[in-house]
Amino acid sequence: MKLPSIFNCSNDMALAAHVRQYLPPKRIQQMEADLAALAQAWEDTRFAGPWGWSLATKRRYEQMGVPVEQLPSDEWLEEVRRLSSREFACQYIRELLDKLNDARLLGEEMQWVERNNLSWPHHARIFKSPWSSSGRGVFVGDGSDERTRARLQGFLSSQGGFVVDRFYEDKVLDFAMEFFIHEDHVVEFLGYSVFHAAEHGAYGYNYVESQEELLRRIDVDNTLLQQLIAYHREHLGKTAYRGPVGIDILKTADGHIHPCLEINFRLNMGILALLLHERYGSHAMVDLTPVGKGGFQARLALNTFGISHHKNL
């Protein structure tokens, strides 16, 4: 039985909750309902299935009548949860920086904090909860601010820790490397994606363009990019996960890059943009979903793909 594709964009929240019966906030429920038809974009591809896996995703398929033997084990889902945590990304980038040892790579200030023993800097830092997506659970704060400390204490209490990193005021570009990990541990590089995110990380839109056009936007030394791809192909293949993966990257005004802001062990907007370009090219205008009851709509407009929210319906 083929698994029906579902756009469960709340999956990272479900990973944080780590329960079988997870109910996302009402606004996210409405977003998923409005954008349910978006799953048709990957229904007949190798990515068919859910946006992301969790105990709650497995339970949802069970309720749909999918036989349990066709679903991943709880042990595999536990490993997906561990890999999806930003704690793993902190470990991963530390090893990457040690191995590649390239002065053009940033990220040495990215660290995992699991006790409130941080030496508080009196300047802006970006803080991230272990599991969240599209900018949720991410904020910029100052160590002298009691509200910041209180919020981070909440992360410690509810999710066991948080990530702190330098706030890159000189960021000029967000992009990603997209991969697919096959059953035989072979890691396929799918391509680059370029996206726009707000200052504090909230997702805006992806460019839907050819790889040549995206590389022109990225404008990073190709030798360095190939070194990163080779590293990811070697090390992602060592994990137990199988399926799509995206690694988010940041570029600064002086040409340096932060090579591993996050690792998304799931489908993501970058891979979806690659699929849309393959299907429609760079200059299509397509309503991928109608405007839903909550005002959410997915739309391909010229060379960009994004999700809009019509608030005044």
Question: Does residue 82 fall inside a structural domain?
Answer: no
Query: Which of 210, 228, 243, 219 lies closest to 77 in space, CA to CA?
Result: 243
Predicted local confidence at residue 145, as pLDDT = 75
**Same-domain pairing of 177 and 162:** no
Which tens digit of pLDDT belongs to each residue from 168-209?
Answer: 999 999 999 999 999 999 999 999 999 998 776 688 999 999
**Domain co-membership, 181 together with 274:** yes
Model pTM score: 0.94
**Is 81 a member of any domain?**
no
What is the pLDDT at residue 129?
87
**In the structure encoding, which two tokens stand for residue 93, read together?**
């980038």
pLDDT band per the 50, 70, 90 thresholds, residue 312: low
Point out the least confidently predicted range of 117-131, 145-159, 252-266, 282-296: 117-131
| Among candidate residues 146, 166, 186, the one where a domain is terminated | 166
CATH number at residue 254: 3.30.470.20
Residue 174 lies in a domain: yes
Q: pLDDT category, 151, cuts 50, 70, 90?
A: confident
* Band (245; pLDDT cuts 50, 70, 90): very high
Indicate if 158 and 174 belong to the same structural domain: no
What are the contacts of 145-149 at 24+ separation with CB within 8 A? 149/116, 149/120
Kindly report the backbone phi and psi dihedral angles of residue 216, in degrees, each rounded to the nearest multiple of 5, phi listed first.
-65, -40
> CB count, 10 Å around CB of 293?
10
Give yes or no for residue 143 having a pLDDT over 80.
Answer: no
In a domain, 122, yes or no: yes
Domain coverage including residue 209:
169-287
- Which residue did the predictor score with more confidence, 16 or 151? 16
**Does residue 214 sit in the same domain as residue 136?**
no
pLDDT digits (tens, 9 = 90+) for 113-139: 887 655 655 566 888 888 886 667 888
> What is the 8-class DSSP label of residue 296?
E
Per-residue pLDDT tens digits for 19-59: 999 999 999 999 999 999 999 999 999 999 999 999 999 99
**Residue 63 is assigned to a structural domain of this protein:** no
Asked if the structure places residue 178 within a domain, the reply is yes
Q: Which amino acid is at 26?
A: K
The verdict on 195 and 162 lying in the same domain is no
Cα 248 to Cα 43, 74, 156, 213, distances in angstroms: 24, 27, 24, 18
Given this model, what pLDDT does residue 198 score?
A: 78
Pair 155, 182 in one domain: no
> Does some domain include residue 221?
yes
Residues 160 and 252 in one domain: no
**pLDDT band of 2, cuts 50, 70, 90:** confident
pLDDT score, position 295? 96
Which of 140, 166, 192 is where one domain is finished?
A: 166
In this structure, the answer to whether residues 176 and 281 fall within a common structural domain is: yes
For residues 99-108, average pLDDT: 96
* pLDDT bucket at 229, cuts 50 / 70 / 90: very high
Q: Are 91 and 28 in contact (CB under 8 A)?
A: no
Lowest-confidence region among 47-56, 85-94, 146-155, 283-292: 146-155
Residues 250 and 205 in one domain: yes
Higher pLDDT, 35 or 144: 35
Number of domains in the chain: 2
- Report DSSP letters for 200-256, one per residue: TS-EEEEE---HHHHHHHH---HHHHHHHHHHHHHHHTTSS--EEEEEEEEEETTS-
- % the chain with pLDDT above 70: 94
Q: Are residues 200 and 261 in the same domain?
A: yes
User: Does one domain contain both 237 and 272?
Assistant: yes
State residue 288's pLDDT score. Answer: 97
Q: What is the average per-residue pLDDT within 201-228?
A: 96
160 with 233, same domain?
Answer: no
Q: Is 262 helix (H, G, I), strand (E, B) or coil?
A: strand
Separation between Cα atoms, residue 73 and residue 170, nearest integer Å = 43
**173 in any annotated domain:** yes
Angstrom distances, CA of residue 185 to CA of 234, 240, 242: 9, 8, 8
Of all residues in the chain, what percent carry a pLDDT higher than 90? 78
